[in-house]
Amino acid sequence: MRFVAASAVAGLALGTGAAAVAGPWDGGQRTAERARAEHVRAGVGGGARHAGPQAAPVPPVLGALRAGRGEPVGLAAALEPLLQDPALGSAGRAAAVVDALTGEKLYGSGERDAYTPASTIKLATAAAALAALGPEHRIATTVLGGGPDGGIVLVGGGDPTLTARPEHDGGSAGASLAELADATAGALKARGTERVRLAYDASRYAGPGLHVIGPNENLAPVSALMVDEGRLDDSDRGPADRTADPAGAAARTFATMLRERGVEIDGDVAEGRAQAGAPRLASVSSAPLSALVERALTNSDNDIAEALARQTAVAGGEEVSFAGAARAVTAQLTKLGLPMDGVHIADGSGLDRADRATADFLAHLLVRAADPGRPGLRPVLTGLPVAGFTGTLRERYAAGMQGRGLVRAKTGTLTGVNTLAGTVVTPSGRLLAFAFLASGTTDADAAQKALDRLATTLATTG
């Protein structure tokens, strides 16, 4: 809420690339953000220190962008010394800066050399999923009749954000396991059934669920059925202990909820399949894909990213596994006309060091997302963390730093790897897409600060 109010009042550039595109937009600002900002300025929801009920309407965050020609004055001279910072590692670094409205390359240094991109590969995963499925696509979790011994089957569709927690916003916020239990219990009782066997089906995904990094607090085993990303605590982002059996854990939680609603469960919950043509008893759906993409990018959410990759595999008719998802994502990126030389997709999250990307590829991907002719890709931009305010950039730009609130970028961090790719609006109103990749870094904090200086320079030059 504080960020939305600040951005509305101070006019922070959101870098949407096409403010006038039809959709959930108003002057380059998400309409939901605009509504919250209006409430804050009116003293609603703890925003009393802002203007009172008679405050003027919130102006558009992003004014008219200007298409420029040629390199902004002094850009190369400003960037090149910063790229020589030893904090950016000994194994190479790359940079690409592109005018987001014209596609003109403004600066490049090793931009066609491929490096491990870490979590900036999530930009590719997000763009591929949006291109394959559209921003309004939702992932369903269903309960079918016709299970083993006449029971019911909980069928996972691949929604890692399905929640078993009592507090959620409902509706467009996502799918609730409790709401699914309510609907299922109601359907069973309407049939006169108060005792049933329960099975679960996570067969929509194939291949191993365990990522090549092995058991890890950054990613649960990838499963078509899970609740709260398999987390064993009450967190909703960041590292956390995870269950080794997401599908089984989800089904057992669902069984408990049914019992609480007066439906007895016979025997143990086990894997099973519904009969062909089995009736649907109940269903809940995830938030729209656009919201999942934004959450994945803002928080660098590995579980959602891997789910997006597998949903892309479903849409592309590939095996719904790590390998099949990689092929499907690659195919969608190729269809988008991106420069794929040197690019290798190994997973959806960027945790696999076999991923490869070039700065040229990442910068042009952001240009595609800003294309007025591709409004379905816009969540790739709106999901980018905002320097000093949201997601993985919240703590990286201290108060008073020039880039604070101006840089929007996806971060990437693995041991020895630091990356940053995003957008800025220059003082002259020019939207730039950029990507910086560094390999062989030894001090992650120093490398991040060096990358942040590069992005800040773009926001304050030209």
Active site residues: 119, 122, 300
**Could you tell me how many residues make up the chain?**
462
| Residue 135 DSSP code | T
Decide: residue 26, CB within 10 A, 0-12 exposed, 13-18 middle, 19+ buried: middle
Task: List the end-to-end C-alpha distance of the chain, in Å, as a whole number.
Answer: 31
**Contact assessment for residue 154 and residue 225, using Cβ atoms and an 8 Å cutoff:** yes
Residues 418 and 436: their CA atoms lie apart, in Å, by 9
List Cβ<8 Å contacts ≥24 apart for 235-239. 237/299, 237/301, 238/299
**Contact assessment for residue 92 and residue 104, using Cβ atoms and an 8 Å cutoff:** no
Residues 410 and 419: their CA atoms lie apart, in Å, by 8
**Contact assessment for residue 163 and residue 176, using Cβ atoms and an 8 Å cutoff:** yes
- Contacts of residue 306, Cβ cutoff 8 Å, sequence gap at least 6: 160, 211, 219, 222, 325, 347, 348, 349
3-state secondary structure of 55: coil
Q: What is the DSSP track for 253-269? A: HHHHHHHHTT-EE-S--
Cα–Cα distances in angstroms (integers) from residue 41 to residues 112, 254, 257, 286, in the given order: 46, 42, 41, 31
**Encoding tokens for residue 336?**
């988008």
Cα–Cα distances in angstroms (integers) from residue 399 to residues 201, 313, 402, 406, 423, in the given order: 49, 42, 9, 12, 20
